[in-house]
Structure 1
Amino acid sequence: MLPDRITRLQYSSGDLADQLFLSTSRAQVNMKTFLGLLIAFISVSGNENQEVILKGVSEQNILLPCSCSSRNLDKEVIWQIKETTVLHYQGNTSDVSASYEGRAEIFLTKNDSNCSLLLSNITLADQGMYKCNFHSTVYNQGYHHTEYNYAFIHLEVSVSYSICQKSGPGNDVNGNVRVFQCDVSRRHPEDRIDWQLDGQPLEKPSTTDATYIAPTGLHHLSSNLTMELNGNSEPKCVVKNPAISTSISYSCSKHTDPSIQDHTFVKSVVSSSVIVAVVLLLVFSLVLYHCQTSKRVTEEKRADVTTELWELNGSNHPKSKNLILVTAE
């Protein structure tokens, strides 16, 4: 009985081993299936890069960075702002939307791993959330698959203003009561001049005048502030706009009185017109004089030849006989 029992036990052990082997195989298959689904999910969902916030200035250029190492060269690269396509790149060919025509440039023709976008002459309409879309090839233990990648770049655009701040008219430099004047060219109707002292807004009343500058199409803002100074700090004027952010620089080299600008502009135009008219008149006079002189010289030569012929025919000059003989022959 004992051998039979041992045999049966051995047989039972073999069945158990087979069952364990089958269970292990199923687990491996399920694990591979799970890993495959996970890879597929990662490939579809993509890798989100950290959002980048950039600040640009209107009428200047800015680079939107996007590194695309291991990029799949057979796949497209798309730059978007919201749902609008800015640039579509595939097969060394770039298609740019109409609003970015001539202002959007990508560097993939020079570097396959640089999907950055250069925007030129940006405006307030260019600000917003940009998205860089591309595909990369990932190699892992002899296998490779394609991942969908994207990066977000938030662009904020400010408007640049050059402010001239100087002493105002009637200013008493030696006294505590001072007059300050601020001049700036206004680009938007909502622009206004505010005064600050040590970074804090002043409630002191100030006068602001706006003058239209015809040649530039801008409006000149001039603000005067009169206040008593109790310390070493002086007020500073700034440009405020509730709808946009502003970028301010201080310089008086390009600021002059608008009325002088207009007068100078008109004067230069009139002077140029007068100079052109005088030059044209001189050229016309020289041409007319040359024509009249040529005509007079020609007539004088004809008259001299005619007179000489008559004199030869009416005299006994040997030449006249020869002429008559030649004519007779």
Structure 2
Amino acid sequence: MLPDRITRLQYSSGDLADPLVLSTSRAQVNMKTFLGLLIAFISVSGNENQEVTVKGVSAQNILLPCSCSSRNPDKEVIWQINKTTVLRHQGNTSDVSASYEGRAEILLTKNDNNCSLLLSNITLADRGTYKCNFHSTVHNQALFHTVYNYAFIHLEVSVSYSVCQKPGSGNDENGSVRVFQCDVTRRHPEDQIDWQLDGQPLEKPSTTDATYIAPTGLQHLSSNLTMELNGSSEPKCVVKNPAISTSISYSCSEHTDPSIQDPTFVKSVISSSVIVAIVLLLVFSLVLYHCQTSKRVTEEKRAGVTSSELWELNVS
């Protein structure tokens, strides 16, 4: 049998509380607690899981790695350099900034778990710290946890040089004094040729000549070193630049072209071509004149015979 009234509880504070009101308050508190836990589960947290350094060579391609397993496909993938956006990708669409147009491609188009960025024809201006931003989803029973991930990729770019070092030639009777020559195309104003012996810089004086290469406008550097060899080691020439790192390969194949060895070669070829063209034009003009003259003489002879024949007929 239900009581005819609701029993009231006395609290130490002296206030009276209605059990129905208390029950409602507890329900509200529980609901707030549940919502708070739910928000905690679906909240976004940061996770720095990658940081690598990648080295590339100017004018070549480079891959900036970024693994994005469990990526949330509804969220954007953003690549940045120094807080400047390089590329945004969402769904099947990529938006590339103007300075990277035609040079930046995200590999998500080939693999959903690969957010790596492929840069083509890199330059020194591409150096810096890149950031790959994406969201991944972690499932926990009926709840889910969205994790914000980012990775830092430090890109270092060096400049490639092809150096041609010719074997030293003897400069005295014993052959101990040798003359070494080194050739390279200067790509930046600060480029210079240094000589080393057993990996150590040489203080021996050397002479370096710089000439322009037509029509590229680059400079050809040629350095000559004369020194007396006291051991079996020979000096080695290297390209130095205080502002950039250099990548050197030793080959004379690029320097066998006369246009590189001698900057006046191109001018001489152009001059010769012009002279040949003028001579051919003159010959063609003379042949054409001769043909036209011969044709006119033949026509005149035929016209003369016809006139004489007509005159003889009239006389008779």
Give the shorter-chain TM-score range: 0.7 to 0.9
The 3-state SS of whatever aligns with 1:51 is: strand
Gapped regions of structure 1 (runs ≥ 5): 1-22, 315-329
The answer to whether 1:40 aligns with 2:39 is no
Aligned to 1:208: 207
What is the distance in 2 between the residues matched to 1:31 and 1:117? 41
* Cα offset, 1:92, TM superposition: 1.9
* Cα offset, 1:264, TM superposition: 2.0
The normalised TM-score by structure 2 is 0.74
Deviations 1:134-174 (A, max 9, x none): 22232222433432222111100001111111235653595
Aligned to 1:80: 80
* Cα offset, 1:276, TM superposition: 4.2
Aligned to 2:269: 268
What is the distance in 1 between the residues matched to 2:114 and 2:34? 37
- CA gap of 1:169–1:74, structure 2 versus 1, over 3 A, is same
* Cα offset, 1:80, TM superposition: 0.8
Task: Output the aligned Cα RMSD.
Answer: 3.7
Deviations 1:55-104 (A, max 9, x none): 11111111111222222222222111112111122232222212112211
Gapped regions of structure 2 (runs ≥ 5): 1-25
Aligned to 2:133: 133
Aligned to 1:49: 49
Number of corresponding residues? 290
- Are the equivalent residues in 2 in contact too, given 1:206–1:224 (CA < 8 A)? no
Aligned to 1:181: 181
Aligned to 2:225: 225
* Cα offset, 1:129, TM superposition: 0.4
Deviations 1:262-299 (A, max 9, x none): 23211221233344445556667777788888999999
What is the distance in 1 between the residues matched to 2:95 and 2:299? 69
Who wins on radius of gyration, i.e. which is larger? 1
Aligned to 2:248: 248
Deviations 1:166-205 (A, max 9, x none): 2356535953333222222211222222222221222x32
- CA gap of 1:300–1:145, structure 2 versus 1, over 3 A, is farther
Instruction: Give, as a single letter, the amino acid of the residue that structure 2 aligns with 1:61.
Output: N
What is the distance in 2 between the residues matched to 1:229 and 1:175? 9
- Are the equivalent residues in 2 in contact too, given 1:130–1:155 (CA < 8 A)? yes
Once the two structures are overlaid, the 10-residue window that deviates more, 276-285 or 161-170, is 276-285
